[in-house]
């Protein structure tokens, strides 16, 4: 099976003032690039970011080259998009604008960082990826799975994680942790944390439905365990892939 990638975009992004190319060369390349793409998913406050950093440190200690990235954000442009998405002042943001911005950040990340790192054979760890859009926008915002898959086709061009670690905590724990964190370190990136408990419950259910649908890729890790125990669980899964 092959996937049509626009190699010009992946390997050689045009400079800002390059002439418009109407018919770029497209070549068939293998579906899976040589690197390893692992994502971390979970409710807000699940501790996935800490676990991603720990896994990266462990892999680097084994001599592997690791790119750590996050969504929304990652690239400098993605970081600007993140500010719009998470700013609590942006209450008018419509669900459609929201999902397009999440995918705008992702597309930039794929084009600027992720695809080339994977093509160099590196390990890429991402704190959230398309699964977050599936559960938060597809289910939480009721935009539907088909909309998300169509946007994924455009923004990611077939790039899917080989392994997804779902750090599992329930909606109540998630909201309590996120709000405690926001109180302890006041900041304005709280627009998503401010959603209702009902919204977060829908996200939780959607994550579990995803794990049930794709058990080969999405592996559940108990996010209520202590940090070292979670790290051991993560490693017991990842060791088979590296």
Site for ligand TYD, rule CB under 6 A: 44-45, 49, 71-72, 86, 102, 127-128, 132-133, 136-137, 178, 192
Long-range CB contacts for residues 227-232, cutoff 8 Å, separation at least 24? 227/47, 227/50, 227/51, 227/54, 230/47, 230/51, 230/167, 231/51, 231/54, 231/55
Name residue, tokens 């070549």.
27
| 38 backbone dihedrals φ, ψ, rounded to 5° | -120, 135
The minimum distance between CB 63 and ligand TYD, in angstroms, equals 28
- Supply the minimum distance, in Å, between the C-beta of residue 33 and ligand TYD: 21
Single out the residue of 10, 9, 36 nearest to residue 161, CA to CA.
36
| Cβ nearer to ligand TYD, comparing 7 with 163 | 163
Query: For residue 138, what is the DSSP state?
Result: I
Nearer to ligand TYD, 6 or 49 (CB): 49
At closest approach, how far in Å is the CB of 173 from ligand TYD?
A: 13
Residue 205 CB, shortest distance to ligand TYD, in Å, is 15
In this complex, which beta carbon is closest to ligand TYD, that of residue 85 or of residue 123?
A: 85
- Cβ-based nearer residue to ligand TYD, 26 or 189: 189
CB 73 to ligand TYD: min, Å: 7
| Axis-axis angle for helices 95-109, 76-86 (nearest 10) | 160
Nearer to ligand TYD, 72 or 223 (CB): 72
Nearest one of 224, 236, 226, 231 to 46, comparing CA atoms: 224
């Amino acid at each position: 099976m092959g996937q049509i990638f626009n190699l010009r975009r992946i390997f050689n992004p045009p400079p800002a003032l390059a002439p418009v190319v109407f018919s770029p060369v497209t070549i068939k390349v293998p579906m899976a690039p040589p690197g390893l793409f692992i994502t971390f998913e979970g409710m807000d406050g699940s501790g996935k970011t800490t676990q991603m950093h720990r896994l990266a440190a462990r892999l680097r200690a084994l001599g592997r080259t690791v790119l750590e990235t996050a969504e929304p954000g990652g690239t400098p442009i993605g970081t600007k998009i993140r500010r719009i998405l998470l700013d609590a002042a942006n209450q008018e943001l419509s669900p459609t604008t929201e999902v397009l911005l999440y995918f705008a950040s992702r597309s930039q990340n794929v084009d600027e960082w992720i695809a080339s790192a994977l093509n160099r054979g590196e390990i890429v760890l991402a704190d959230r990826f398309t699964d977050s859009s599936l559960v938060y926008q597809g289910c939480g915002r009721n935009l539907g799975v088909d909309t998300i898959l169509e946007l994924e086709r455009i923004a990611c061009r077939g790039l899917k994680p080989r392994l997804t670690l779902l750090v599992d905590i329930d909606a109540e724990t998630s909201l309590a942790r996120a709000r405690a964190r926001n109180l302890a370190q006041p900041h304005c990136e709280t627009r998503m944390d401010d959603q209702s408990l009902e919204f977060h419950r829908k996200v939780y259910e959607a994550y579990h439905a995803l794990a049930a649908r794709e058990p080969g890729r999405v592996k559940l890790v108990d996010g209520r365990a202590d940090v070292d125990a979670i790290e051991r669980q993560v490693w017991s899964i990842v060791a088979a892939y590296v």
